[in-house]
Amino acid sequence: MLVETHLGKQAAQAVPLSDAAMRLGVLPMPTLQWTPEVERETAHLYEKVKRVIPPVEWPFHAPYVKAINDLKRQRNAVILAHNYQTPEIYNCVADVVGDSLQLARLAGSTNADIIIQGGVHFMAETSKLLNPDKTILIPDSKAGCSLAESITGADVRALRKQYPGVPVVAYVNTSAEVKAEVDICCTSSNAVKVVESLGVDRVIFLPDRFLAQNVAAQTKVKIIAWTGACEVHERFTAEEISAYRANDPELKVIAHPECPREVVEVSDFAGSTAAMIDYVKSQAPKRVLLVTECSMADNVATETPNVEFVRPCNLCPHMKRITLPKILESLVYLREEVTIDPALAARARLSVQRMIDLG
């Protein structure tokens, strides 16, 4: 079986070389064939994903998996993959997986020359902020985020005028341009801690209004919220969760705090994607409903064979722009390179670094 990346060959002619490709050179596109050698060399990886990828699909993934893992070594590259990446990326080619905070921390400590971001654009920008001298690539720069797109640097400046002296906390799901205007960043796993670290009685919290509501429920600090929302999590409803519960009293419900407050209120636990994974692993519920992006359940299922997953998942179209063929092209052609104006990056880095320094 021959699996060819036609896109790669056409795009190689159509797209100008990135600066990184000029510096480091383009490599030949590997031949992508399902051979006994590929089958043998990827068998241990298929073992990890066999619960969520049917055997008939593996011959399509495996040649990419082998080619990507070979090229990573050749390029001294690492792949940082968010927990919402598809199981073949998360389990078979990623070097580091995690939630936004874990990825930001690990981006700052890698020795690799090249970081490929398996995730969305604001994550790749965060990696660049923490590694200004490394080559940061995102396999598809159109992988955006409804939260990051809901606010601009000019909006933050207007908020500061409206609320003089009130510090601004930005969820990492924001552009570097926005990070450059704020006091400190947070993720869903440290938002309450970050808000309380400022020692004030009110903060501006942006851009996610639902995360803001969920943080406000856990602190005495008054939260002034922006009106953004995650297009994946805002669609879950409390009625939907209650209907699942009514049919299955043993079901554990675990929600991401980007969900509306009323969804979190009818859940057993809420936390970042890493905290959700920890909950499933440590509590090992018989049946669990993860109120979050679709690939999470697949990725946790590979490691928790005794847990049954109920799947009312919503798909993040941005996360799903990252695919094995595009990761391979990133490694071959060194695209798409993430660059940030150095003066803006210096200001944005401060707000990310303040968060990381909080521990």
Residue 140 tokens, joined: 């598809």
Q: Taking the complex as a whole, how short is the minimal distance between the CB of residue 279 and ligand 13P, in angstroms?
A: 12
DSSP code, position 334: -
Please, which residue, 230 or 307, has the CB nearer to ligand 13P? 230
Q: Taking the complex as a whole, how short is the minimal distance between the CB of residue 328 and ligand SF4, in angstroms?
A: 22
Please, which residue, 21 or 124, has the CB nearer to ligand SF4? 124
- Give the interface with ligand SF4 as residue ranges (CB under 6 A): 120, 145-147, 173, 230-232, 258, 293, 316, 318-319
Q: Taking the complex as a whole, how short is the minimal distance between the CB of residue 37 and ligand SF4, in angstroms?
A: 37
Q: Which residues contact 167 (CB under 8 A, 6 or more apart)?
A: 183, 184, 198, 200, 203, 204
Q: Taking the complex as a whole, how short is the minimal distance between the CB of residue 41 and ligand 13P, in angstroms?
A: 31
Q: Taking the complex as a whole, how short is the minimal distance between the CB of residue 275 and ligand 13P, in angstroms?
A: 8
- The option from ligand 13P, ligand SF4, none interacting with 188 (CB < 5 to 8 A, set by class) reads ligand 13P
Residue with tokens 């298929």: 46
Spatial distance between the Cα atoms of 181 and 194, rounded to a whole number of angstroms: 17
For residue 102, how far is the Cα from the chain centroid?
10
Residue with tokens 């699909």: 57
Contact 318, 145 (CB under 8 A): yes
Please, which residue, 88 or 258, has the CB nearer to ligand SF4? 258
Spatial distance between the Cα atoms of 88 and 65, rounded to a whole number of angstroms: 8
Across the chain, the runs of DSSP E, i.e. the strands, are 77-82, 96-98, 114-118, 135-137, 168-171, 184-186, 202-206, 222-225, 252-255, 269-270, 287-291, 308-310
Q: Taking the complex as a whole, how short is the minimal distance between the CB of residue 232 and ligand SF4, in angstroms?
A: 4
Please, which residue, 75 or 121, has the CB nearer to ligand 13P? 121
- Give the interface with ligand 13P as residue ranges (CB under 6 A): 83, 99-101, 173, 187-188, 230, 258, 272-273
Spatial distance between the Cα atoms of 19 and 336, rounded to a whole number of angstroms: 10
Please, which residue, 71 or 170, has the CB nearer to ligand 13P? 170
Please, which residue, 29 or 184, has the CB nearer to ligand 13P? 184
- The option from ligand 13P, ligand SF4, none interacting with 146 (CB < 5 to 8 A, set by class) reads ligand SF4
Spatial distance between the Cα atoms of 228 and 262, rounded to a whole number of angstroms: 17
